């Protein structure tokens, strides 16, 4: 089918929940994707931090091919081999002792919120339910995750929200401390606010949050849906901050492109769930777990991927800073950790995204004026140079 017809039928048959660009992506390899008209793009969106090994990584493709022939789905009433393998890898490489699998970031946060409340009631025997989250945060679109999200634009028209959430400014330890009450059961934070515009915490903020949680016997939940799986140059972002949470949520990069979410916790907190407490039909299905386990294998194999992520992240941030020197009227700030990179503009970012796309480079804009770059963790210097060259051309036309 030709592109024009596809765009017409997309508009006709799909619910209009996305503001989509007028291209149809049909094929991908590594950092490249191709449109239905044959046009090639360099992909710095990466499925929004999903395609951590690029498109169709050969080892992930083979793992999926092998598993799809062996077993696609069985119920969680039975033990599942790839699920066990993946859980073991996550536990051995994190603070956590136990894993629950689901299908998305929002679902992982739902599970975390349910576990936190349940732990307080069933294990501690205390009727605490309130969860403090940050303004400008993003935790997903299902009702509890949406209620946790600290941005009114996502709430609008969907009220009443789930009760029991309280929002305070990110990076403000005094505000957080002041919001704690005898009702508080947990604090839920992204280590770096992704959708909120790549906002980094002060170096000691998360450690102080940890201390506050310990002092008040409150659980700390980190939403690493965007920052996890190597994105920041460590397997999990909390590793940069000399602390660890009680519960952590993952999704996006975990499946190397396959839809999977996970909620990890310590043994102590996991005791809040017993058989029947929580479940997911598809959660941890053999096919997605085989893909995720292989993705993690490749990332952890010999340290190359994380090392490349750190080196290329540093390089990209440096090149973007040089662009900032060249276009101080357009670029306000560069914020980066590993390959989660934000470039705040002094103006709306949409025209730059469109102009880059026309020149064959896909980038994302979040929070209205923050260009966000989330390439594969194995992006090369040549690809970064190309992006920067295109951005330079684009800013030239915009200035």
Ligand X SMILES: *Cc1c(COP(=O)(O)O)cnc(C)c1O
Provide the annotated active-site residues.
138, 223, 252
Residue recorded with tokens 């894993």: 99
Nearer to ligand X, 100 or 395 (CB): 100
Checking phi first, is residue 134 left (phi over 0); if not, alpha (psi -120 to 50) or beta? Answer: beta
For residue 224, the minimal CB distance to ligand X (Å) is: 7
Number of residues counted as binding ligand X (CB under 6 A): 15
251 binds ligand X (CB under 6 A): yes
110 binds ligand X (CB under 6 A): no
253 binds ligand X (CB under 6 A): no
- At 190, give phi and psi (nearest 5°): -85, 135
For residue 99, the minimal CB distance to ligand X (Å) is: 17
CB-nearest residue to ligand X: 105
State which of residues 35, 54, 105, 283 lies at the interface with ligand X (CB under 6 A). Answer: 105
State which of residues 46, 82, 191, 194 lies at the interface with ligand X (CB under 6 A). Answer: 194
- HSE, CB side, 13 Å, CA atoms: give it for residue 251: 22
Q: How far is CA 296 from CA 16, 65, 72, 235, 262, in A?
A: 34, 17, 20, 9, 13
Strand partners, 186: 131, 219
Closest CA to 385 of 303, 289, 330, 320: 320
Torsion angle of the four alpha carbons 311, 229, 336, 206, in this order, in degrees rounded to the nearest 10: -120
For residue 195, the minimal CB distance to ligand X (Å) is: 6
State which of residues 31, 53, 87, 106 lies at the interface with ligand X (CB under 6 A). Answer: 106
Strand partners, 365: 371
Within 202-241, which residues bind ligand X (CB under 6 A)? 223, 225-226
Burial of 271 from C-beta contacts in 10 A (0-12 / 13-18 / 19+): middle
Nearer to ligand X, 246 or 383 (CB): 246
Q: In what order do the strands lie in the sheet with 130-134?
A: 98-102, 261-265, 247-250, 219-223, 184-189, 130-134, 165-168
Within 137-156, which residues bind ligand X (CB under 6 A)? 138-140
For residue 106, the minimal CB distance to ligand X (Å) is: 3
For residue 136, the minimal CB distance to ligand X (Å) is: 12
> Which residues contact ligand X (rule: CB under 6 A)?
104-106, 109, 138-140, 190, 194-195, 223, 225-226, 251-252
């Amino acid at each position: 089918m030709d592109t024009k017809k596809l765009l017409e039928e997309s508009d006709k048959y799909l619910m209009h929940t996305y503001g989509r660009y007028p291209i149809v992506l049909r094929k991908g390899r590594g950092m490249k994707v191709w449109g239905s008209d044959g046009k090639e793009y360099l992909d710095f969106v990466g499925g929004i931090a999903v395609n951590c090994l690029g498109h169709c990584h050969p080892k992930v493709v083979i793992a999926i091919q092998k598993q799809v022939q062996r077993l696609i789905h069985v119920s969680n009433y039975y033990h599942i081999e790839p699920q066990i393998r993946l859980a073991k890898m996550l536990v051995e490489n994190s603070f956590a002792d136990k894993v629950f699998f689901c299908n998305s970031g929002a679902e992982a946060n739902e599970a975390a919120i349910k576990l936190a409340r349940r732990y307080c009631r069933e294990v501690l025997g205390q009727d605490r339910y309130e969860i403090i989250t940050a303004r400008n945060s993003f935790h997903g679109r299902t009702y509890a995750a949406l209620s946790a999200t600290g941005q009114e634009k996502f709430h609008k028209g969907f009220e009443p929200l789930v009760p029991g959430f309280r929002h305070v400014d990110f990076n403000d330890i005094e505000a957080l401390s002041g919001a704690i009450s005898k009702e508080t059961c947990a604090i839920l934070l992204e280590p770096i606010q992704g959708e909120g515009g790549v906002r980094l915490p002060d170096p000691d903020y998360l450690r102080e949050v940890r201390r506050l949680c310990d002092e008040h016997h409150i659980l700390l939940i980190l939403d690493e849906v965007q920052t996890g799986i190597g994105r920041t140059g460590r397997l999990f972002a909390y590793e940069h901050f000399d602390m660890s949470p009680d519960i952590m949520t993952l999704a996006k990069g975990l499946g190397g492109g396959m839809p999977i979410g996970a909620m990890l916790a310590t043994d102590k907190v996991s005791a809040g769930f017993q058989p029947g407490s929580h479940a997911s039909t598809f959660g941890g299905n053999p096919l997605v777990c085989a893909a995720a386990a292989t993705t993690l294998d490749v990332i952890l194999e010999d340290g190359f991927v994380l090392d490349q992520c750190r080196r290329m992240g540093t390089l990209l941030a440096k090149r973007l800073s040089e662009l900032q020197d060249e276009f101080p009227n357009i670029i306000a700030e560069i914020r980066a950790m590993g390959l989660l990179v934000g470039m705040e503009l002094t103006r709306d970012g949409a025209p730059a995204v469109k102009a880059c796309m026309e020149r064959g480079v896909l980038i994302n804009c979040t929070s209205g004026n923050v260009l966000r770059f989330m390439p594969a963790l194995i992006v090369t210097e040549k690809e970064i140079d190309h992006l920067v060259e295109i951005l330079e051309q684009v800013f030239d036309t915009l200035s």
